Amino acid sequence: MATLYDVCKKTGFSTATISRVLNRKDVVTEKTRQIVLDAVKELNYRPKPAARMLAGQKTDTLGVIFPEIDNGFYVQVLRGIDNAAKEAGLHLLVSFYHDKAGLKETLLSLALDGRSDAIVMINIDLSDRQIKKLVNDTVPVVMIGHSAETSATFDVVEIDNTNGAASAVTHLLNKGIENILLLTGPADNFDSIQRLNGAKLAFEDAGKDFSTVTIIESNFTYEGGMEQMTDHLESGKSLPEAIFAFNDRMALGALEVLKAKGYTVPGDLAMIGFDDTESALYAGLTSVQVPMMDIGYEAANLAIRRIDAQKGNPSTLTITTSLSVRNST
């Protein structure tokens, strides 16, 4: 375990000079730099993060906070973040949060205690004000997705829900399908609201009447999709020409019920999901594809840039989706 002092002894330079060489800050002679670097290599010297943190207030660490939800594509986001972090030579301190108390503690620990240089958080159900108060400007925060409130507080990376949903609906309209059933998420869910709006816009853009559309609220789960589909069928209402579920899980749940009832897709009706998960791929479900890795990557880069960049106005990055067309439409 060579320390900075060992390098000093070997080279005859002071700790200051060694540190300068290693941190690419001030100026040092090219010759000096070489001597130091050689010694560092020879001694196999590695600066201790703990000491660096204490003295320099730099952790070389990016904090990441996820909701404790069983959500397959969070790994994708995480990988994107990891890629960006690796490029910047940062480590990742990851935390799932179970409840608000835990989240607050995590935020304090990552920010105030100085465990990280920046934080990326996803869909947190804490208000911007609360977060800001906790973090207290100690480190920059980037949000992936956000709540209904306009986020003028932090940098945000979000999915283009509106256009994503619009593209799905347009895809149907182009096929001459207008009798559509929308299986949405909770009414107060921001993603759901935006997607609903996108669907509406697609109708308007096409000059069609959106009021013919049936809207059924569900909860983004497989079971929710099954239930709503079952209810709809049992209520004796007619089958729509197409169902656009606001995520794949609900789509697959509905699909399951339809199949059980003997309906075929896309024979009897078309079906579109959102997220384009692996399951959608395997089920041949047309779905709005969301580039999760990109989102993570962009969010992390935004955060990393904020670390030494002067404060600027919060920016919002909207990631575009694309439609993965498969057998279900």
Partner DNA sequence: CACCTGCATGTAATCGCTTGCATGGCGAAA
Partner DNA sequence: TTTCGCCATGCAAGCGATTACATGCAGGTG
Residues making contact with DNA (CB under 7 A): 1, 3-5, 12-20, 22-23, 25-29, 31-32, 45-48, 50-52, 54-57
Q: Is the peptide bond before 266 cis (omega within 30 degrees of 0)?
A: yes
Q: How many Å apart are CA 254 and CA 214, to the nearest integer? A: 15
Please list every residue from 279 through 298 that binds a second copy, using CB under 8 A: 279, 281-283
Q: Which one, of 146, 149, 171, lies nearest residue 323 by Cα?
A: 171
Cα 294 to Cα 93, 253, 255: the distances in Å are 19, 28, 29
Residues 151 and 30: their CA atoms lie apart, in Å, by 47
Q: How far is the CB of 260 from a second copy (least distance, A)?
A: 10
Residue type at 136 in one-letter notation: N
Position 183: which residue type? L
- Name 99's Cβ contacts closer than 8 Å, sequence gap at least 6: none
Site string for a second copy, 53-92 (x = CB under 8 A): xx----x-x--x---x-xxx-xxx-xx--x---x----xx
Q: Is 94 in the site for a second copy (CB under 8 A)?
A: yes
**Backbone region of residue 65 per phi and psi (left: phi > 0; alpha: psi in -120 to 50; beta: other values):** beta
Task: Answer yes or no whether residue 1 interacts with a second copy by CB under 8 A.
Answer: yes
Of 168 and 283, the one with the shorter C-beta distance to a second copy is 283
Q: Which is nearer to a second copy, 15 or 212 (CB)?
A: 15
**Contact partner, 15, from DNA, a second copy, none, Cβ < 5-8 Å per class:** DNA
Please list every residue from 239 through 268 that binds a second copy, using CB under 8 A: 252, 256
The distance of closest approach from Cβ of residue 284 to a second copy in the complex, given in angstroms and rounded to an integer, is 8
Let me know the angle formed at the C-alpha of 102 by 97 and 104, rounded to the nearest 5 degrees. Answer: 105
Whether residue 21 contacts residue 32, with contact meaning beta carbons closer than 8 Å, is answered with yes
Residues 6 or more apart whose CB falls under 8 angstroms from that of 152 comprise 314
Q: Which does 23 bind (CB under 5 to 8 A by kind): a second copy, DNA, none?
A: DNA
Q: How far is the CB of 12 from DNA (least distance, A)?
A: 6
User: Residue 58 Cβ, how far from DNA at the closest point, in Å?
Assistant: 7
Nearer to a second copy, 32 or 284 (CB): 284
Beta carbons within 10 angstroms of residue 20's beta carbon: 18
By CB under 8 A, the count of residues binding a second copy is 45
C-beta of residue 210 within 8 angstroms of C-beta of residue 202: no
Report what 101 binds from DNA, a second copy, none; CB cut-off 5-8 Å by kind: none
Nearer to DNA, 57 or 327 (CB): 57
Partner interacting with residue 296 (select from a second copy, DNA, none; CB below 5-8 Å by kind): none
Is 167 among the residues that bind a second copy (CB under 8 A)? no
115 binds a second copy (CB under 8 A): yes
Alpha helix segments (H runs only) across 111-143: 128-135
Extract the tokens encoding 60: 């070389």
State the binding partner of 17 from a second copy, DNA, none, CB within 5 to 8 A by kind: DNA
Please state the closest distance from residue 132 (CB atom) to DNA, in A.
22
Spatial strand order of the sheet with 214-217 comes to 214-217, 180-184, 242-245, 270-275, 286-289, 322-324
Q: Rg (Cα) of the chain, in Å, rounded?
A: 26
**Least distance from a second copy to the Cβ atom of residue 93, Å:** 6
Binding residues (CB under 8 A) for a second copy: these are 1, 46-51, 53-54, 59, 61, 64, 68, 70-72, 74-76, 78-79, 82, 86, 91-96, 98, 102, 108-109, 112-115, 222, 252, 256, 278-279, 281-283
